[in-house]
Chains A and B, each alone.
Chain A
Amino acid sequence: QKEVEQNSGPLSVPEGAIASLNCTYSDRGSQSFFWYRQYSGKSPELIMSIYSNGDKEDGRFTAQLNKASQYVSLLIRDSQPSDSATYLCAVKRFGNEKLTFGTGTRLTIIP
């Protein structure tokens, strides 16, 4: 079992709709959770971090964390073509500063 799992996609969403990206993790010692956006050939860019169960909103982005189910998700409201990218889920274990990444979900917003 991979430590961090994501559906590779591609996930196609119409412009203006909500895009929902999911991530599961295997290590119950995981403490911090991150979503990175990566455009093709570019470096990953941090867009959301979440540390506690529940929802965290930042503009059009909402991260959701459920530690009991070992599940973290990212919702993108009012999806725009510029949101088309690969989204990487990353997890940090308590006491360990290294991040473990999922393989990413490729999101395409259809105009």
Chain B
Amino acid sequence: DADVTQTPRNRITKTGKRIMLECSQTKGHDRMYWYRQDPGLGLRLIYYSFDVKDINKGEISDGYSVSRQAQAKFSLSLESAIPNQTALYFCATSDPQTGPNPRYYGYTFGSGTRLTVV
């Protein structure tokens, strides 16, 4: 099984519908992130969470909300989907830096959700 699992893999939805994208991880990481990727714009941070009680907005949070149901689960919701939210969405996790010489090892990404809003 994948370390970071996203569901669904693909979704087509209509404008105005509410939709939830789910992410679960077996890495045991505290930090979880939601990004969207658009051609020419790269990966942009939507929301991030450093633990169950800590939720933070990223650079493009408008129109999105999140829920951290448990350490291993982080869901992204589009309350009322619009066509410009059509994108590839990625969940990612990371480990906090600890110790006298901490090294940050980057993110582990899920396989992505391709969302199309029509």
Chain A interfacial positions (CB closer than 8 Å to B): 8, 31-32, 34, 36, 41-46, 49, 51, 88, 90, 92, 97-99, 101-104
Let me know if B68 is at the binding interface, CB within 8 A: no
Residues of A within 8 A of B88 (CB): 41
Asked if residues A102 and B42 are in contact (CB atoms below 8 Å), the reply is yes
Residues of B within 8 A of A98 (CB): 33, 45, 48, 58
Of chain B, the residue at the smallest CB distance from A103 is B42
Q: Tally chain B residues at the interface, Cβ within 8 Å.
A: 26
Q: Given B40, B97, B109, B110, which contacts A97 in the complex, CB threshold below 8 Å?
A: B97
Residues of A within 8 A of B104 (CB): 31-32, 49, 92, 97
Known: A41-B114, A97-B31, A97-B50. A34 touches B42 (CB 8 A): no
Known: A42-B112, A97-B97. A88 touches B42 (CB 8 A): yes
Residues of B within 8 A of A8 (CB): 40
Q: Smallest Cβ distance from B89 to chain A, in angstroms?
A: 11
